[in-house]
Amino acid sequence: MTAAAELDGRRARTVRTRAAILEALLALLRGGDINPTAAEIARKAGVSLRSIAQHFPRRGDLFAAAAALYQERPDSPEPAATLPLAARLDAFVPERARELERSRPMRASAAQFAADYPVVAEAIAGNAARRRAQVERVFATELAGRPDRLELVDLALGGRVWDALRERELSLPRAQALVRSLVVAALGV
């Protein structure tokens, strides 16, 4: 094997190992473990603890990389702003509820590191901005020239309201129905 081929092989292994570690962490977070140990991550990834330390010298670096990777996911589909309001609500609210439910563990985990790791804080802010921009596009007609409505609708469709409803042990359909009611009230329709 040539030196170049050996180097390429090592680079490929490095990329695979790093990806396996990050995917393992995200899988654990999705499973509800918002603060998994390095041993749990290593076991899930099929790598050694030493590999985690080599790729991510500090625990926050690992969680910051996971937050950045999570932020790269594609946006959820959004209904056309030209549809009737009821159709937009019927399409958008359930999709947002699914997204918020899926992201609950990731958001809880990220909150632990946001103060110490700017990249995590940036990921949180970036996700919030992305979600707000969707709200602005989908409800553009109802929000036109009404910044207070935008604030209220964005809040109603945000993670904090969703988490508060779910922490009350409301079922997914009930929480989703309440969010829809909040959005309708905030839109003033």
Cα–Cα distance, 39 to 118 (Å, whole number): 25
Tokens found for residue 4: 């170049």
CB 102 within 8 A of CB 30: yes
| Residue-level pLDDT at 7 | 61
| Residue-level pLDDT at 64 | 79
Closest CA to 95 of 162, 150, 184: 162
CATH of span 3-57: 1.10.10
Average pLDDT over residues 119-139: 89
- Banded pLDDT at 74 (limits 50, 70, 90): low
Tokens found for residue 149: 């409505």
CATH 1.10.10 spans which residues of the chain?
3-57
Question: No. of H helices and E strands in the chain?
Answer: 10, 0
| Residue-level pLDDT at 4 | 61
